[in-house]
Amino acid sequence: MKGGNTKNMDKAFVKVKCPDCGNEQIIFLRASTVVKCQVCGATIATPTGGKADIRGEIVEVYS
Ligand SMILES: [Zn+2]
């Protein structure tokens, strides 16, 4: 089914723009490990036990 603009983001992936170099990469919103930028190595998400703490700008959400 398509078109449901659900607010349930538990299983969402997000595209995050690295705050340091601008690289965009897709990460799991509930990442359980620190996620680093593949280009410059900056930390772009840290796990919190729930939704990861995203440091960069979220440019797109996939649910
Ligand atoms: Zn970067």
How many Cβ atoms sit within 10 Å of the Cβ of residue 1?
A: 3
**Residue 6 within a domain:** no
10: left (phi over 0), alpha (psi -120 to 50) or beta: alpha
pLDDT tens sequence for the chain (63 residues): 454 555 555 679 999 999 999 999 999 999 999 999 999 999 999 999 999 999 999 999 998
Residue 1: what pLDDT? 45
What the block records as the tokens of 36 is 């680093």
Residue 5: what pLDDT? 52
- 8 vs 29: CA distance, rounded Å: 12
Give the Å distance between the CA of 55 and the centre of ligand 1. Answer: 11
**Residue 3 within a domain:** no
**Residue 41 within a domain:** yes
Residue 21: what pLDDT? 98
Give the Å distance between the CA of 24 and the centre of ligand 1. Answer: 8
Residue 6: what pLDDT? 52
Residue 10: what pLDDT? 65
Give the Å distance between the CA of 29 and the centre of ligand 1. Answer: 18
Task: Report the CATH number at residue 36.
Answer: 2.20.25.100
- 63 vs 42: CA distance, rounded Å: 25
- Structural domains in the chain (count): 1
The whole domain housing 40 covers 13-62
